[in-house]
Structure 1
């Protein structure tokens, strides 16, 4: 996801999806105190063209819940789009907990279990790919999520 260069420094670099896939980068942001939250992200194709982006307020809650809601919001939009019939989806987030819950079925909090189960079913049934990406490679989605806070 990120490319190593001389002197072992890491340069942030978003990698495009392979042919036949679209890549959805999502993020959730929570303001200090947790009273305001935002979600954001963007969908791109294999030649780096942004097909859509979003930045919206998202009520309030703990960071992991906001991240799950960001994933759900755009996965449902993707499923209702024409792109769903033509492409598979790669979903990238910088929240390890969410990726673990959805792909490894690691102990999701009981209060999130229904949401995690719903998203995991979408990933499995539709052949989506769920990936953890370093925050420095997900900065555009991070900025959009923070803008959604208002």
Structure 2
């Protein structure tokens, strides 16, 4: 059956060598269905068609970004509309011009936060690392969260990081810079009117904490968050 599906897929008229994302779609669908099948058979889970659809789209976007990391489209945009990938000029360029961590200005501390979803997508986690402008680690956090869309997880990482800093780790007099590699999450906090209604309350809570405490929020390139990403994966692994 999978062989017939793959053969039929590649015979479709819109599949061409230039439409790279369409070649990934059947594999993301089959792998997602296979993983869910195992959860149903061996884990007494139920079939959730909406969740399968979402997980297949998420896996497609993640795989595409791994193959084409130099593409200037975010993972969240690809999940919402995979067709956007057709308009890109794609190069398998794995070199990154700048991936090293950048120190914060004097008088500031920097908190880098990130989120991750486990391979089976039944667990998620958020983590953060607090550093001074000399690169010394002053503290870290790692918490598990439930399943959900990637952007929701990134928003929860921001909220959890801010809560941890101001309630549990606030023995510092320096001002705070918080960074996330999620373009959508940072943009929504800076411009709450752009956020979807579903996330409006969460975004406003984050915005209020940032404004009340004079926090700077910035987006960091994916490579900047390697250490935080490793921490969050260990936390949910």
Superposition CA RMSD, Å:
1.6
Q: Which protein has the bigger helix share?
A: 2
Q: CA deviation at 1:9?
A: 5.8
Match of 2:114 in 1: 27
Q: CA deviation at 1:74?
A: 1.6
1:146 aligns to 2:233 (yes or no): yes
Unaligned runs of at least 5 residues, structure 2: 1-94
| 1:19-59 CA distance string (max 9 Å, x none) | 11100000000123532111111000011110111222212
Match of 1:137 in 2: 224
Q: Distance in 1 between matches of 2:143 and 2:206?
A: 20
Residues 21 and 87 of structure 1 are in contact (CA less than 8 Å); yes or no, is this contact kept in structure 2? yes
Q: Which of 43, 64, 70 in structure 1 is aligned with 2:151?
A: 64
Residues 43-122 of structure 1 mapped to structure 2, 5 A cutoff: 43-80=130-167, 81-83=170-172, 86-122=173-209
Structure index of larger Rg: 2
Q: Distance in 2 between matches of 1:79 and 1:56?
A: 16
Q: CA deviation at 1:145?
A: 1.6
How many residue pairs are counted as aligned between the two chains?
A: 141
Residues 23 and 45 of structure 1 are in contact (CA less than 8 Å); yes or no, is this contact kept in structure 2? yes
Q: Which protein has the bigger strand share?
A: 1
Match of 2:57 in 1: none
TM-score normalised by length of structure 1: 0.86
Structure number with greater CO (CA < 8 Å, separation at least 6) is 1
Residues 111 and 129 of structure 2 are in contact (CA less than 8 Å); yes or no, is this contact kept in structure 1? yes
Match of 1:127 in 2: 214
Moved more, 43-52 or 9-18: 9-18
Q: CA deviation at 1:106?
A: 4.6
Residues 103 and 132 of structure 2 are in contact (CA less than 8 Å); yes or no, is this contact kept in structure 1? yes
